[in-house]
Amino acid sequence: MTTDIRELQQAFDDAELHADTDRLHTLLADDFMSIGERGYLLNKRQWIDRHADFAYLSLETTGVDLRRYDRAAMVRCVQRSRATWRGEAMTLTVRLSQVWIELPGGWRLAGIQFSSLDPV
């Protein structure tokens, strides 16, 4: 039954790539929290609103390791991306962890944490 989580993880990546803030609002838990590669925190509103200044040009996810538990799932992977932040180009390679939880309304992304990797 990991297929549904993998599909949600891919839907999240697609929403990020296309700045689909409506889809992100649906996918993220209300108490969602992100920990960035430099330790900064973003809640759900801040995460969605960052798309006003941030845009992905490309986003590739590899090495997906998915672990499913009773009403939770952990996704670990590597992402390589090209993006712009306030018009400045950036290239990122990160290892990330996502925590998905099953709520009465369905599965939601509750947390994500990034760790910088050296570009390959």
Nearest to 78 by CA among 36, 119, 18, 21: 119
Convert the pLDDT of each residue in 11-21 to its tens digit: 999 999 999 99
For 56-108, what is each residue's pLDDT tens digit? 999 999 999 999 999 999 999 999 999 999 989 999 999 999 999 999 999 99
Distance CA 42, CA 104 (A): 24
Q: What's the CA angle centered on 2, arms 71 and 10, to 5 degrees? A: 105
pTM of the model: 0.92
For the beta carbon of residue 108, count every other beta carbon within 10 angstroms: 19
Q: Which residues contact 76 (CB under 8 A, 6 or more apart)?
A: 63, 64, 65, 66, 95, 96, 97, 98
% of the chain residues with pLDDT over 70: 96
Q: Does pLDDT of 3 surpass 90?
A: no
Q: Which domain covers residue 33, as residue numbers? A: 3-116
Q: Looking at residue 75, which CATH number applies to its domain?
A: 3.10.450.50
Return the closest-CA partner of residue 80 out of 94, 99, 66.
Answer: 94
Domains contained in the chain, number: 1
